[in-house]
């Protein structure tokens, strides 16, 4: 996004308000609250979720923000910060905004290299010194309504984030955050609530300058926080691996930190998952042969047990997109089972060539998908679905033509046995551990899981063995005994090697 320089200068000269408090008692941040951010991430929360940031993470405008030595994914997040004016405990939605004294700009910095270290709490990746930039000035909350705010972010002068708090843009209204939090703890004077970032958050490099402004352009006088300016620097101290978690990144973290695979310089997700040549080889290789090769490499627990193709003769090759169900508990199904739950999000977001692998704990007493979700996955180009639970609308799902491997048919709805709980995590499906991105191959013998880094080696070896077995089968069909022939040894081995020189496996 770009902006007229004259407009940018006018925006930066908005009338300043009061100085920002220097030491809030609590800093509470919302994980996701903008529709644009949820759409970018492919998952939308059903209820607000939060994490705490230490007061020591506070930094002001003009300050340096350090990317530690040996890390690469320091991401900025332009946000609107609410500053509590009067204590709020069990306040109503209608009364909540009256407890907000002022609004300002915030940058909720995060180091994705340490994101996995404290999943959910974000302590190490977002709690570092200076990782909550705030200011430079306050907007009086009495001058505005919570639906009139705008947040914008510039990186090196280029506008990269812009969104408003209009009702259609927010998942949870700002006042709802105050009311919800007040149900669980007392919000005290000076506490700060960071209200989430819109789409456009990305990675900043040492030397970058990131600026954020919150304003209310439709309000008389266009009150503004002014520009919150941060200078990104490179640290010179590394972490001690003997003390705790070390920085670690993968392509998934790079994609989420930068905002997209393209922005991160990564290849297209489908191409990155399975190159076409590898996919073609996997489609020719039987699961029995692949399983044997994995066993030779010490991997015995890679078969998803108890699942069968809906339609005999079905084959399936793709990369895993995981979905986890937990056992049904009525209160949890009320909070997580309805609306746009994680099950629907996964079927909406599945990409071409991906296989949705569902952890249903082997509980076949309800469906884990039905015809509508199968239609959605088929339209998206999914390679198939594997579930160690049941399938509703069994005949209709089979007619759709999406490869589905499951235990059995079952007419009951999801909530009889399951609560949709999480996605893109390690799952246990049919007693096999499946990670997002693992290679999934299915045929009439069942489904196996191949670590991505082994796929090329394993399939080449399996196809070579298939080539050998085809020759052996011909000899057995001629009436020869299997002793010394299966596998070939001695004279049989010499004859096979001579035949192989004339009929290489690549000719198949």
- Tell me the torsion sign for CA atoms 143, 146, 149, 153: positive
**253, containing H or E segment:** helix 251-258
Ligand-binding site membership of 372 (annotated): yes
**Integer CA distances (angstroms), 20 to 140, 261, 283, 438, 452, in order:** 12, 37, 61, 48, 50
**Which of 16, 25, 7 is CA-nearest to residue 191?**
25
Ligand-binding site membership of 240 (annotated): no
**82, containing H or E segment:** strand 78-84
Torsion of CA 329, 334, 339, 345, to 10 degrees: -30
Using DSSP, state whether 405 is helix, strand or coil: strand
Ligand-binding site membership of 331 (annotated): no
Using DSSP, state whether 306 is helix, strand or coil: coil
Spatial contact of 105 and 225, defined as CB atoms under 8 Å apart: yes
The position carrying tokens 């959605």 is 376
C-alpha 225/C-alpha 83 separation (Å) is 13
Strand order in the sheet with 158-164: 63-67, 228-234, 209-215, 150-155, 158-164
Tokens of 27: 């800093």
Ligand-binding site membership of 416 (annotated): no
Q: Write the DSSP string, 206-238.
A: TT-EEEEEEE-TTSTT--B---EEEEEEE----
Ligand-binding site membership of 507 (annotated): no
Residues in the chain: 508
C-alpha 484/C-alpha 175 separation (Å) is 79
Ligand-binding site membership of 444 (annotated): no
C-alpha 381/C-alpha 379 separation (Å) is 5
Q: For 410, what's the count of Cα atoms within 13 Å in the CB-facing half-sphere?
A: 22
Tokens of 185: 């703890």
**Which of 194, 84, 179, 71 is CA-nearest to residue 141?**
84
- Residues annotated within a binding site: 370-373, 392-393
- Residues annotated within a binding site for Mg(2+): 393
- Residues annotated within a binding site for substrate: 370-373, 392
């Amino acid at each position: 996004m770009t902006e007229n320089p004259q407009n940018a200068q006018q925006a930066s000269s908005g009338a300043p308000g009061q100085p920002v408090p220097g030491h809030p008692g609590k800093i509470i941040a919302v994980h996701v609250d903008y529709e644009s951010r949820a759409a970018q991430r492919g998952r939308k929360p059903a209820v607000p979720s939060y994490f705490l940031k230490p007061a020591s993470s506070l930094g002001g405008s003009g300050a340096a923000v350090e990317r530690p030595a040996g890390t690469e994914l320091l991401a900025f997040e332009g946000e609107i910060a609410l500053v509590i004016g009067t204590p709020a405990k069990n306040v109503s939605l209608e009364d909540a905004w009256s407890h907000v004294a002022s609004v300002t700009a915030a940058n909720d910095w995060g180091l994705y290299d340490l994101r996995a270290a404290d999943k959910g709490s974000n302590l190490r990746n977002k709690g570092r010194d200076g990782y909550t930039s705030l200011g430079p000035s306050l907007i009086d909350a009495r001058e505005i309504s919570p639906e009139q705010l705008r947040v914008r972010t510039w990186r090196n002068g280029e506008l990269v984030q812009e969104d408003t708090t209009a009702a259609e843009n927010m998942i949870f209204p700002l006042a709802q955050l105050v009311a919800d939090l007040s149900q669980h703890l007392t919000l005290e004077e000076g506490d700060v609530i960071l209200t989430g970032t819109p789409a456009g958050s990305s990675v900043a490099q040492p030397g970058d300058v990131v600026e954020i402004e919150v304003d209310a352009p439709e309000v008389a006088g266009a009150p503004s926080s002014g520009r919150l300016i941060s200078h990104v620097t490179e640290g010179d101290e590394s972490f001690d691996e003997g003390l705790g978690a070390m920085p670690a990144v993968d392509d998934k973290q790079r994609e989420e930190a930068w905002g997209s695979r393209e922005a991160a310089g990564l290849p297209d997700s489908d191409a990155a998952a399975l190159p076409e040549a590898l996919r073609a080889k996997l489609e020719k290789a039987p699961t029995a042969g692949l399983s044997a090769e994995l066993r030779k490499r010490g991997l015995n627990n890679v078969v998803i047990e108890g699942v069968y193709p809906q339609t005999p003769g079905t084959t399936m090759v793709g990369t895993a997109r995981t979905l986890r169900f937990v056992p049904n508990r009525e209160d949890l199904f009320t909070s997580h089972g309805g609306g746009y739950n994680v099950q629907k999000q996964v079927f909406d977001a599945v990409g071409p060539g991906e296989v949705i692998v569902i952890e249903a704990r082997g509980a076949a007493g309800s469906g884990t998908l039905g015809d509508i979700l199968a239609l959605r996955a088929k339209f998206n180009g999914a390679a198939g679905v594997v579930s160690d639970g049941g399938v509703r609308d069994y005949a209709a799902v089979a007619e759709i033509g999406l490869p589905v491997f499951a235990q059995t048919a079952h007419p009951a709805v999801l909530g009889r046995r399951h609560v949709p709980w999480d996605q893109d995590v390690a799952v246990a499906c049919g007693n096999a551990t499946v990670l997002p991105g693992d290679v999934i191959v299915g045929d009439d013998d069942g489904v196996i899981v191949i670590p991505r880094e082994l796929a090329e080696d394993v399939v080449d070896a399996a196809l070579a063995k298939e080539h050998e077995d085809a020759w052996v089968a011909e000899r057995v069909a001629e009436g020869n005994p299997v002793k010394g022939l299966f596998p070939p040894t001695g004279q049989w081995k010499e004859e096979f090697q001579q035949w192989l020189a004339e009929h290489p496996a690549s000719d198949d």
